[in-house]
Amino acid sequence: MVTPVTSLGRNGLYDWLIQRVSAVIIGVYLIFMLGYLMTAGDLDFASWKAFMGSICMQIANTLLVIAVAAHTWVGLWGVTTDYLTSLTFGKAATGVRLIAQVAIALALVVYLLWGLVLIWGGA
């Protein structure tokens, strides 16, 4: 049995579940937003701000930001462990993979914090 330490759930089943659940959240959000934009009529800044400032949308946006971050990590972790291996990079593979994973993780943390500040910052 392989026990990777950088996978999100550290377990195949959890990673698989996280990927599916986050995909459902992203899908439902996209369909809802599409429906809203098609039925909302003329949107101006004030009505858009009021809509996004409601507590329901703040919670929905928070869920979306977390779902996108989790989905991206599980997906890209799979890509890095498929393609950045000793088959393609020889002995340098571990270093290459580590650098790629750290870069992706840092980008996602920045994205997550930035998203939360935008949603809950109230500016």
Partner 1 sequence: MKVSIYRYNPETDREPSMKEYEVDTQGKDLMVLDILALVKEQDQSLAYRRSCREGVCGSDGMNMNGKNGLACITPLSQVAPGVLEGKKPLILRPLPGLPVIRDLVVDMGMFYNQYEKVQPYLQNNTPAPAIERLQSPEERAKIDGLYECILCACCSTSCPSFWWNPDKFLGPAALLQSYRFLADSRDNATEERLSKLDDPFSLFRCHGIMNCVSVCPKGLNPTRAIGHIRSMLLERGI
Amino acid found at 120: W
Using rule CB under 8 A, residue 54 touches partner 1: no
28 to 20, 32, 33, 48, 50: CA distances (angstroms) = 12, 6, 9, 20, 21
Stretches 26-34, 40-48, 80-88, 111-119: which one binds partner 1 (CB under 8 A)?
80-88
Using rule CB under 8 A, residue 16 touches partner 1: yes
Stretches 10-18, 40-48, 101-109, 110-118: which one binds partner 1 (CB under 8 A)?
10-18
- Considering the complex, state which of residue 1 and residue 46 has its C-beta at the smaller distance from partner 1: 1
Q: Minimal CA–CA distance to 118: which of 75, 71, 57?
A: 57
Half-sphere exposure of 112 (CA within 13 A, CB side): 15
| Shortest distance, position 117 Cβ to partner 1, whole Å | 32
- Do the Cβ atoms of 71 and 23 come closer than 8 Å? yes
Using rule CB under 8 A, residue 38 touches partner 1: no
Give the whole-angstrom CA distance, residue 51 versus residue 6.
Answer: 38
Using rule CB under 8 A, residue 12 touches partner 1: yes
Contact residues: partner 1, CB under 8 A = 1-4, 7, 9, 11-17, 78, 81-83, 85, 87
